[in-house]
Amino acid sequence: MREILGDIDRWRAQHKRIAVARVVDIEGSGPRDPGAAMAVNEDGEVCGSVSGGCVEGAVVAEALEILKNDSPGRLVKFGYSDDEAFAVGLTCGGVVHLFIQPLSW
């Protein structure tokens, strides 16, 4: 969170709606520890990261969906499995649990 405060402050000053995604748990090998965070504003601008670049694209889509639907937040899991081999996942074989919510607090 520390490294994305500057961008979030700038977006808040511009009255942009913002969603924050945070790693809350990892199973097995994961690129970033719990607490890793990224933020997405209503225009789709991004700061921070929650993986080694593997799932950020999907997080942006999810975050924009959450902002659009005024959802209170959602737990999202990204991992690797055979039937998801070509879907979004972590190449390192781990599973990452993210909580994505609007920054309404």
Q: Which of 28, 35, 44, 57 binds other proteins (CB under 8 A)?
A: 35
Q: Is 95 in the site for other proteins (CB under 8 A)?
A: no
CB 79 within 8 A of CB 54: no
Measured from the CB atom, the residue of 89 and 102 that comes closer to other proteins is 102
Q: How far is the CB of 74 from other proteins (least distance, A)?
A: 8
Q: Is 77 in the site for other proteins (CB under 8 A)?
A: no
Q: Is 33 in the site for other proteins (CB under 8 A)?
A: yes
Q: Is 73 in the site for other proteins (CB under 8 A)?
A: yes
Could you count the other beta carbons within 10 Å of the beta carbon of residue 66?
21
| Nearest in space to 30 (alpha carbons), one of 65, 80, 86 | 80
Half-sphere exposure of 24 (CA within 13 A, CB side): 11
CB 36 within 8 A of CB 88: no
Q: Where do contacts with other proteins occur on this chain (CB under 8 A)?
A: 1-2, 5, 8-9, 12, 22, 24-25, 33-35, 72-73, 75, 99, 101-105
